[in-house]
Homo-oligomer: A and B are copies of this chain.
Amino acid sequence: MVPAPRPTYSVIAKAAGVSEATVSRVLNGDESVHPDRAKRVQDAVDKLGYRKNRVASALASGRSGLIAVVIDDDLSVFSDPFWGTVTSGVSRILSENGIHTVLMVSPVGSIDGGVAHYLKSGEVDGAIFFVLHSDALVNNLKKSGLPMVIAGTPHSSLDIPFVDTDNFGGAYAGTKHLINQGCKKIACITGDIGTTAAKQRLDGYLQAFRETGGIPAKGLICEGDYSLESGMHHARMLLETHPDVDGIFASNDLMAAGAVTVLQDLGRLVPEDVKVVGFDDALIAQTTRPALTTIRQDVVALGEAAGSLMIAQLNGEDVKPIITPTELIIRASA
């Protein structure tokens, strides 16, 4: 193996008849170099096919050009196409800005674990967190000045920029749709209530409900956990406790699909007897029969928002949270 001998500053400098310092200035966009010399450098760079050694650059400047995407969980999360897609969005925006994405899939756990050390070690210029189970680490890291972005609304009100889908608005629109379709008794199957998204979606449901002047009857709100099984389970329970339920808003499509299956098995027609609305517009929303009416969130946009928030921070701009809009997708189930 004969590694191509990559030219270094000294070669460029010699070829252009300037000092290495000047080469550095030109390559880093320092305006103070005389245009003529800058051009000489640029020509030498082009001619020799020079590419900066990012490692050396990182060591000298203290900026690594790397952003960590930290997924505070084990494998399971990443198998969810949702996070894969978000990651793609992040990665695309970052690489457009010459920054690479390093992936850390690991339960973050303590503020003293491996991930924490890594993030503090200065090997990355920033970190983007997915599926944050606790705000402890982030809170701790904030003191170190590491630029961070959180995907999903954090539990506590940290002044760390985050991006999130308009969970509240989406849930509100979904529930409103059920009301407009004439549903009188609308249940809600929530997601894992330990997540902020599930809470926000519940709030959206409640808000729409409240505007009808009513209050959800006891038992119409079921605490699910985003799984197919919990959708099935709660649909079954609902039919027992509230046989007259005529609308279900589920906090994601998977639970909605589970609910539809159970409803049908128990002889209810969807949407004739019971209308169902999901959330996410996941693939399953299209494959379920009847296809699910659902709330679409633009997942790629979410990732891109996270990426651009990070870029903005690296540029020293101060940033505000970004909430991406949702869209009601009407299909057959409601």
Residues of A within 8 A of B (CB): 1-4, 6, 51, 53-56, 58-59, 64, 66, 69, 74-75, 78-81, 83-85, 87-89, 91-92, 95, 100-106, 117-118, 120-123, 144-145, 228, 254, 257-258, 261, 283-284, 286-289, 299-300
Contact partner, A75, options B2, B56, B89, Cβ 8 Å:
B89
Taken together as a complex, chains A and B put the C-alpha atoms of A144 and B91 apart, in Å, by: 26
Query: Mostly helix, strand, loop or mixed at chain A's interface?
Result: helix
Taken together as a complex, chains A and B put the C-alpha atoms of A228 and B291 apart, in Å, by: 13
Q: Is the CB of A55 within 8 A of B59?
A: yes
Q: Is the CB of A105 within 8 A of B92?
A: yes
Contact partner, A287, options B59, B228, B299, B300, Cβ 8 Å:
B228
| 8 cross-chain CB contacts under 8 A | A4-B144, A53-B123, A59-B59, A66-B102, A91-B104, A95-B105, A100-B102, A102-B103
Q: Is the CB of A54 within 8 A of B103?
A: no
Q: Is the CB of A55 within 8 A of B51?
A: no
The chain B residue sitting closest to A84, CB to CB, is B84
Q: Is the CB of A95 within 8 A of B84?
A: no
> Shortest Cβ distance from A112 into chain B, in angstroms?
10
Taken together as a complex, chains A and B put the C-alpha atoms of A1 and B283 apart, in Å, by: 44
The chain B residue sitting closest to A228, CB to CB, is B287
Contact partner, A117, options B2, B51, B64, Cβ 8 Å:
B51
CB-CB under 8 A for A284 and B286, given A3-B145, A83-B84, A120-B4 = no
> Shortest Cβ distance from A69 into chain B, in angstroms?
8
Contact partner, A79, options B84, B120, B289, Cβ 8 Å:
B84
Taken together as a complex, chains A and B put the C-alpha atoms of A5 and B53 apart, in Å, by: 26
Contact partner, A78, options B51, B53, B58, B85, Cβ 8 Å:
B85
Of the candidates A2, A69, A283, the one having the most CB atoms from chain B within 10 angstroms of its own CB is: A283
> Shortest Cβ distance from A189 into chain B, in angstroms?
16
